[in-house]
Structure 1
């Protein structure tokens, strides 16, 4: 299983069904919301959400800045 980008659609951020598999790095715009994550593919087109990735997502959102595996829609001023 390969790592790839998954764009966040809506719903609980900890639910793999809330994401759509992407063929490249998704473009993001807006303010302080989750845009996409880089994760292992579970072979059904959804991400494997490890605890480490969930923690990285929470940290990125709390800091208002993207991280290695997390893209946000915009950044905090």
Structure 2
């Protein structure tokens, strides 16, 4: 009788929250952001997306969740910075 064994990978990844500055044109595309060391200075008055505070996917790109997308939309509609979204002037 042959016994078989199943190996289970129990590797857990740790994700850190970081600021990401929008450097491309599509705020919903993680590859259009650049990881920055701290909250960037965004010129007032707020009118367009400048930066987001999000989980780092481990390769230097933000994890853009539905909740963060909604926060981005609300910030843009109300023209105000939020906890995780900074806006800048056009």
TM normalised by structure 1 equals 0.91
TM normalised by structure 2 equals 0.78
Q: Greater CA radius of gyration, 1 or 2?
A: 2
Mapping of 1:41-56 within 5 angstroms?
41-56=56-71
> 1:11 and 1:46 mapped to 2: Cα distance?
15
The root-mean-square deviation of aligned C-alpha atoms, in Å, is: 1.1
Aligned length: 74
Which 4+ stretches in 1 moved above 3 angstroms? Answer: none
Structure 1 unaligned residues grouped into runs of 5+: none
Structure 2 unaligned residues grouped into runs of 5+: 1-14
> 1:20 and 1:10 mapped to 2: Cα distance?
9
Q: Which has the higher contact order (CA 8 A, sep 6+)?
A: 1
